[in-house]
């Protein structure tokens, strides 16, 4: 058994081998496969990233994930270069060492293990360089926008300490299919300036795609801890009536208005993991697909029932995951925050709006709250703000980019 297999555990080596070797006679492996502005991604790079993701047991379709990651990496590198940011060789090597250390391996051991599965060292190096460049850029670009007041820290600590913060939100989630992204983004910028609850609700009834549309986007009271980690600091920074900046999510843009906030004596539960299932229906938000989802929802009581529905279909049509709240995509996490186990959301889509996500909450695993270190807690809040700003910035870069598949 190799060092990598022994230390990382279950590596999907069979899937890695199924990707096939890179042969000398392979045609067009180094020809451009994707053009991103003035950069290209080759078929070889796609194949290499897919191999690496398979070795790392990345969830989902590694071919699709490799494509999306490499597009994002090119955009990150382009933005960093435009800002004059270029990590040194020593910084890249340190980043490689840090990444390898997550698997309790040295950099050399990690590189050797990747090579044993057909992944070149340069593939690993490029992966780390893109991530490091982006981190340095985000820190430089947004350093002045993540400062926290003592009041904000105290309010957030209420949810982690002896009391709980509850918030009353309204939501608008607007689909942004290809060709309409610019118009939706402009509309979202306009709505983000609203300070009237009535005006926000009017926009929600007109444009939102969620189940709360008819209620003007109004949500019931929610514990702050139930919201996605990325959303919490954004909500805490609002005063009643204010709206978040537009939040890009897959195929859509989200906005949230704070209607009220209160601190209670109740100590909210926190969760170490959330289990959910996503069943994908072709057709997006068409009337026929939404009707199919309603029929399906009426027949299901728990996540296990979805296995029977998906039987005989491709493996990727049903995904079931148990993840820490911080690892769940923001749009999925927010929908899950509204659900009890066995309940369903059909607000989200994937594949540029062509696939409807039938999302079901399976359950939550509670953890015991411990005493919170104020400095560490504030650092976590700042990191969450950095993450939210970075996600929005990357989504903006994607929307403005010229991306062409060869």
What is the pLDDT averaged over residues 384-399? 82
Give the per-residue pLDDT at 392: 80
Answer with the residue of higher pLDDT: 384 or 161. 384
pLDDT confidence bin for 151, thresholds 50/70/90 = low
Picking from 42-51, 136-145, 338-347, which range would have the lowest pLDDT averaged per residue? Answer: 136-145
Picking from 64-73, 187-196, 379-388, which range would have the lowest pLDDT averaged per residue? Answer: 379-388
74-121 confidence digits (pLDDT tens): 999 999 999 999 999 999 999 999 998 888 889 999 999 999 999 999
In the sheet with 344-350, reading across from the earlier edge strand, the strands are 318-323, 270-282, 355-367, 344-350
Give the per-residue pLDDT at 16: 33
Domains and CATH numbers, the chain: 3-143 (1.10.4030.10), 150-267+370-405 (3.10.50.40), 270-367 (3.10.50)
pLDDT confidence bin for 371, thresholds 50/70/90 = low
> Half-sphere exposure (CA, 13 Å, Cβ side) for 292?
16
How far is 183 from 367, CA to CA, in rounded Å?
43
- Give the pairing of strands 252-264 and 344-350: unpaired
Give yes or no for a contact between 285 and 353, defined as CB atoms under 8 angstroms apart. yes
Place of tokens 């843009």: 253
pLDDT confidence bin for 156, thresholds 50/70/90 = low
C-alpha of 178 from chain center:
19
Give yes or no for a contact between 284 and 353, defined as CB atoms under 8 angstroms apart. yes
Give the per-residue pLDDT at 227: 86
Picking from 195-209, 273-287, 290-304, 376-390, which range would have the lowest pLDDT averaged per residue? Answer: 376-390
C-alpha of 305 from chain center:
26
CA dihedral 234, 236, 241, 244 (to 10 degrees): 0
Its pTM stands at 0.49
**From the DSSP assignment, how many helices (H) and strands (E) are in the chain?**
15, 11
């Amino acid at each position: 058994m190799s060092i990598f297999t022994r230390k990382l555990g279950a590596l999907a080596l069979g899937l890695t081998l199924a990707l096939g070797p890179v042969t000398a006679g392979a045609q067009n492996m180094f020809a451009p496969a994707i053009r991103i502005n003035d950069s290209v991604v080759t078929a070889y790079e796609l194949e290499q990233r897919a191999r690496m993701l398979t070795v790392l047991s990345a969830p989902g379709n590694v071919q699709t994930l490799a494509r999306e990651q490499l597009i994002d990496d090119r955009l990150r590198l382009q933005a960093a270069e435009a800002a004059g940011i270029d990590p040194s060789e020593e910084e890249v090597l340190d980043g490689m060492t840090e990444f390898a250390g997550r698997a309790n391996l040295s950099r050399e051991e990690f590189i050797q293990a990747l090579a044993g599965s057909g992944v070149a060292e340069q593939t690993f190096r490029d992966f780390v360089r893109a991530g490091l460049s982006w981190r340095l850029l985000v820190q430089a670009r947004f350093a002045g926008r993540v400062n926290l007041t003592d009041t904000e820290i105290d309010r957030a600590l209420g949810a982690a300490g002896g009391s709980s913060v509850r918030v009353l939100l309204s939501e608008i989630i607007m689909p942004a299919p290809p060709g309409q992204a610019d118009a939706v983004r402009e509309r979202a910028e306009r709505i983000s300036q609203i300070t009237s609850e009535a005006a926000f609700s009017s926009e929600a009834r007109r444009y939102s795609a969620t189940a709360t549309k008819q209620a003007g986007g109004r949500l019931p009271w929610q514990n702050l801890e139930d919201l996605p980690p990325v959303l919490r600091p954004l909500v805490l920074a609002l005063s009643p009536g204010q709206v978040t900046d537009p939040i890009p999510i897959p195929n859509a843009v989200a906005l949230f208005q704070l209607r009220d906030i209160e601190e209670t004596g109740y100590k909210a539960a926190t969760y170490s993991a959330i289990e959910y299932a996503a069943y994908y229906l072709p057709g997006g938000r068409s009337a026929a697909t939404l009707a199919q989802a309603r029929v399906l929802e009426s027949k299901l009581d728990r996540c296990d029932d979805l296995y029977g529905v998906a039987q005989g279909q491709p493996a990727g049509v049903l995904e079931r995951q148990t993840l820490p709240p911080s690892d769940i995509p923001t749009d999925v996490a927010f929908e899950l925050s509204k659900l009890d186990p066995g309940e369903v959301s059909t607000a989200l889509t994937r594949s540029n709006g062509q696939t409807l996500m039938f999302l079901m909450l399976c359950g939550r695993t509670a953890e015991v709250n411990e005493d919170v270190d104020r400095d560490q807690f504030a650092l976590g809040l700042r990191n969450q703000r950095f993450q939210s700003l970075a996600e929005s910035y990357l989504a903006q870069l994607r929307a403005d980019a010229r991306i062409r598949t060869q």
